[in-house]
With several copies, the nearest count.
Chain A
Amino acid sequence: IEEPLLFERDSEGRCGVDLPAPPKAKNRLGTNARKGRIGLPGISEPEIVRHFTRLSQKNYAIDTGLYPLGSCTMKHNPRLNEKMARLAGFADIHPLQPVSTVQGALAVIDQLAHWLKVLTGMPAVAMSPAAGAHGELCGMMAIRAAHQAKGETRNKVLVAESAHGTNPATAAACGFTVEAVPANARGRVDLAALKAQLGPDVAAVMLTNPNTCGLFETEIREISDAVHAAGAYFYCDGANFNAIVGRVRPADLGVDVMHINLHKTFSTPHGGGGPGAGPVVLAAALAPFAPLPWVVHGKNGFEVLEKAEGAATQALGRLKGFHGQMGMFVRALAYMMSHGADGLRQVASDAVLNANYVLAGLKDDLTAPFEGPCMHEALFDDRFLKDTGVTTLDVAKALIDEGFHPMTMYFPLVVHGALLIEPTETESKATLDRFIGVLKALAAEAREGKVDKFRAAPTLTPRRRLDETSAARQPVLRWKPEEPARTAAE
């Protein structure tokens, strides 16, 4: 069934809310009152519930099936966390209430910070970044501020070739020039190349570990030592922290700064693209530069430092309004408390176990570019599709018709036609077995030359393949009313 746009519905003069009459009071708007209609449709509440319910049914989600997007960590989102975030004591407090009236909220921030610091071994954490990329921005700013405080001008940042696109984008947003560090044949950073690139102009090196090939950087200590010896800082992209949480502390690997995607490792929902939260843990050398606000212990409980003064004199400034993503903090803390120190270890173990099970199950049918074991995700390239006429994209779309969301495609860039599969710890063996079986069958069909089937896929979805090229060439980014002229002609 087709679902029209809200703006295309029968709507004459309806309203889905019932507002009280305004009291009589003087109009003090001044001379800038709105004139003319906005153009919003008026639709009844039942129709709106139905509209969005039907739209929701056009979505795939963790709640409907496996979502094996490598590097995105689509794990189960416990409903307890949702319930906790909606307690009036968290959801209905204003960010600028007197601090005496929000001590519990500040305690949540403080407790979450404590968990993050212990789990990473780092002495400080900046809580306000709103998402992973925002956390990267925060981390790179802290690095820049630290160099500036030392009177150093270092303008170059080395970024691993396999890095998420946000890494170079972030470095550029902070005014750095970016240089790629190549990968070696084992899918890790090429240590010799890195050493050659390091120098007095390098402010930082940005790596992901486990990296985006799903591999642990075996020479991580050698890397961090080299970075430090060169006077640079080691930024670790924390997107894959879920592979080692409770098992390995980034501080013990020589990491100076790392963001943590609460929506990946700590299960806050992805929400169709946000909101996220990206707290950043900082080594002692970078801690003084953490952005405002800071939550600190004071005489009368928690206090909030909102200006660059006192202990926060070197703070790098402010990254967003208010205190950060409180709603996400509550969810993440609920997750941590539910799992505990023991449960979080188990998370990492199960995530790695599941990924290796997929790798083992598929390595004979697909082609794995690097030797295992992998960490939380299994990487394949498209050599198994060679000469079949079928592409990575085709496989992904065919998977949709089998009832599964595709894996991450064409990333990381270091292998050709990448297929990056991350099952996460919350999937059962039965689900993985079914997924492996389907992929094996698809690989066989590709070998058998069923190109047409692949090209046509998906066929069982609300829409078939969409024309992205024309969408970008002639962008239609909003609904517009039909031209009055045309309406009149009809």
Chain B
Amino acid sequence: MLVAIGVPSVDALFRDVPKAAWRDEPFDLPPHQGELEVERALARLAAQNVPAGSVPSFLGAGAYRHHVPATVDHIIQRGEFMTSYTPYQPEVTQGTLQYLFEFQTQVALITGMDVANASMYDGASATAEAVMMANRVTRRSRAVLSGGLHPHYRETTETNARFAGVTIVAADPHPEADEDLAALIDDKTSCVVVQNPDFFGRIRDYSALAAAAHAKGALLVVVVSEIVSLGAITPPGEMGADIVAAEGQSIGNPLTFGGPHVGLFATRDKYVRQMPGRLVGQTVDADGRRGWVLTLSTREQHIRREKATSNICTNSGLCALAFTIHMSLLGEIGFTGLAEINHAHASLLAEKLESVPGVTVLNDSFFNEFTMALPKPAADVVEALVGHGVLAGVPVSRLYPDRPELKNLLLVAATETNTEADMDTFAAKLQEVLR
């Protein structure tokens, strides 16, 4: 090959590199290893973690352990899906394009919205993008955030806002009091952002808030961090939401320590050209046959560069495929049935934990996660329960370390994967730890 190129050595091809920056010796890093050795080393690291499935485990707060059918992981590993690129050449990527079109339809159906994009990084970044989109739609730059918004979503939105010059008005988190967000909307407000069920697990009807926002020319953004809830509760679209930003991990995707997950993003038809992210659209080919293409790319950075709706170039393709497959397997009966089991498990768990002396469930309503007040700091209780082989939930203080009034609160989630025996173990050990 060197002869064909006409150079004496491969190094000669690097002649444009400044001598001072050229490194002739390998770096101070280990040499290559065989599969066997790499596998051994990584398995050793994996063994230093406690898999949620190996013990009774009740963590939620934006990431949920659901059962993923074996079919899902089987299909997403097919090389034709996994090792393909963004479908820029539609003639040879109709597979990717069709499933993304199916994904968009599923997301629109479950959220009750008109249209959805082909996925975002995750729920938090989707929320930040929703605020930016509301700014573009309304040509305003002040967003009101509910105190019930997941703290990571709020922080992500605040970070983006800070650098984009957007004003954020955020209500305080409170597990019991109802907040009056309508009062915070003024005529500079682009949107009000709420979560349902909220961070503390409460389920709310935001129809009145939607009306209040619309009256002031602002949009309502509804965030969903546990998408399975939409099998059981009124979807945002029916409450007047203009944008839905959600986390889709629960369907088809493992916890994986928080990533990669899959952001869902849906809106009304009329705002579609302000929507960020990839979009697949239906069209016909030269023979008149139905087919799919990436579309409305004039919104995107590779066409509009600094004028694009966002800088996002990637979606969460393979996670979206996992979502699509799992959702297809579930179908109407399965998705609503899954929601029903989740709620029943959580309700049963709440009942068992409420009977532990000193424990109060604060929620007037919940789906599969609720907030408990404990007689001592929740973080200490959780740590103590690790010693008893229970992953008890998420102390609110993990996400709000700076709010002492929340330090005794524990978020507890149950899904279809928790057995009644797990719940009994949790209740018994909690009682022991609180004694």
Contact = CB atoms under 8 A, between A and B. Distances in A.
B27 A248 contact: no
Interface in B104-135: 104-106, 108-110, 114-116, 118-119, 121-125, 132
Given A40-B331, A51-B328, A467 B81 contact: no
Given A373-B15, A468-B295, A173 B10 contact: no
A286 interface: no
A356 B344 contact: no
A133 B86 CA distance: 15
Nearest to B402: A307
Interface stretch (A15-23, A190-198, A440-448, A482-490): A15-23
B145 interface: no
B283 A321 contact: no
A357 B101 contact: no
A interface, how many residues as a size bin? 35 or more
B96 A48 contact: no
B121 A320 contact: yes
B139 interface: no
Given A169-B306, A321-B156, 13 more contacts: A25-B348, A43-B331, A53-B80, A69-B88, A84-B42, A102-B50, A172-B307, A246-B26, A274-B260, A274-B315, A353-B5, A471-B282, A478-B104
A267 to B, nearest CB: 10
A230 interface: no
A26 B163 contact: no
A324 B172 CA distance: 26
A202 interface: no
A478 B69 CA distance: 25
B353 interface: no
A93 B49 contact: yes
Given A52-B75, A339-B32, A479-B105, A472 B53 contact: no
**Which of B22, B42, B70, B114 counts the most A-chain CB atoms under 10 A from its CB?**
B42
B5 A356 contact: yes
Interface in B1-26: 1-2, 4-7, 10-18, 20-23, 26
A274 B84 contact: no
B314 interface: yes
B34 A357 contact: no
Contact of A353 (B1, B50, B262, B337): B1
Contacts of B69: 16-17, 45, 79-80
A166 B300 CA distance: 9
B204 A32 contact: yes
Interface string B34-56: 11111101111111111111100
B271 interface: no
11 contacts: A5-B101, A84-B38, A98-B382, A173-B132, A174-B164, A221-B18, A252-B21, A253-B18, A275-B318, A373-B13, A467-B285
Contacts of B355: none
B391 interface: yes
Given A79-B71, A216-B16, A275 B258 contact: no
Contacts of A90: 46, 49, 256-257
Nearest to B1: A357
A480 to B, nearest CB: 8
A77 interface: yes
